[in-house]
Amino acid sequence: MSPVHVRAEPGDFAESVLLPGDPRRARYIAENFFEDARLVTEERGMLGYTGAYKGKPVSVQTTGMGCPSAAIVTNELIQLGARNLLRVGTCGGYHRDMELGDLVVATAAVPQDGTVSSITRGMPYAPAAHFDVVHAAHHAAESAGQRTFMGPIVSSDLFYDPEEDPADLWNSLGVLAVEMEAAAIFTIAAMEGVRAGCLLTVSDTIGQEVVRIGDDELRKAVDGMMTLALDTLDALN
């Protein structure tokens, strides 16, 4: 029987799957980076496609926003045979040296969310990316000459953070950036014995004020990240 939310059958998805939050980004990736892309699910508008990259099968599946939605999708993709999961998205950069369009390779994700705590029954837990994925992403970025930051990020339930100066708080803890899904993906992947990672484009720099990237600059930066993400998955196969 098909999973409840990702309405597909075993074999519809490749073992390696990109995980953007936005369905429009999933469609864009499939149409612009995949060979012979085909739609395999559109349940609830959560678009999923399978195609090929450099002749190898690869998929992309929308996760939606936040850890609860990402947890559902991650669980169901694993049920369908996914073994390499790579979140691709945007983030708010906390590091003082970050510039708009920079790449972040997450090594871990602080779980500032309710989902991971529910999964672990409140036990302290440190969601981490799989070393193989981090290693492959690092080398892909290095080969491309991409300006890259590597280290921990934080996954938050809140896009509009009431913290007066979150950058100061997280900088003091060595956290590079904030996004909303990686902690749940890392946790479930580790529990199920599959590999997961996360690549992010800095779309906002967060300090005394928030500075937002322009649309054209964002598109160019995300395109570069997608090539690196696909090269990362290619190296894992």
Please indicate whether residue 223 is annotated as part of the active site. Answer: no
Separation of alpha carbons 104 and 137, rounded Å: 10
Give the amino acid at 168: D
Give the amino acid at 196: A
CA dist 14 to 49, 78, 163, Å? 9, 11, 40
Which run of H or of E encompasses 132? helix 131-144
Separation of alpha carbons 117 and 201, rounded Å: 26
Separation of alpha carbons 37 and 142, rounded Å: 28
Catalytic residue (choose from 157, 161, 204, 223): 204
Separation of alpha carbons 151 and 176, rounded Å: 7
Q: Looking at the annotation, which residues are catalytic?
A: 204
